[in-house]
Amino acid sequence: MAKLTLTRNIDAPDDFYAELIAAHEGLSKAESDALNARLVLTLANHIGDRAVLTEALAVAKSAG
């Protein structure tokens, strides 16, 4: 079973953050929320491991 990676594991994280912010430019709140939902579901599908996804939900919920 895979384990959720919580350490930095992305190339050029600042560049990705800028890309993410740029993707939301000009969108309404509803459009931005829909983009976030599509991105989450796309990445969840890519991960595919339900145990990892459940752990990620718990981590995200406790961080807020």
Q: Is the pTM of this model over 0.85?
A: yes
In a domain, 19, yes or no: no
User: Would you say the C-alpha torsion 8, 9, 10, 11 has a positive or negative sign?
Assistant: positive
In a domain, 57, yes or no: yes
**7 in helix, strand or coil?**
coil
In a domain, 21, yes or no: no
pLDDT in tens, 3-57: 999 999 999 999 999 999 999 999 999 999 999 999 999 999 999 999 999 999 9
Total tally of structural domains belonging to the chain: 1
Q: How far apart are the C-alpha atoms of 47 and 62, rounded to whole Å?
A: 21
Q: How far apart are the C-alpha atoms of 34 and 14, rounded to whole Å?
A: 23
In a domain, 37, yes or no: yes
pLDDT at residue 44 in the model: 97
In a domain, 22, yes or no: no
In a domain, 34, yes or no: yes
Instruction: For residue 59, give its domain range.
Output: 27-63
pLDDT at residue 2 in the model: 77
In a domain, 12, yes or no: no
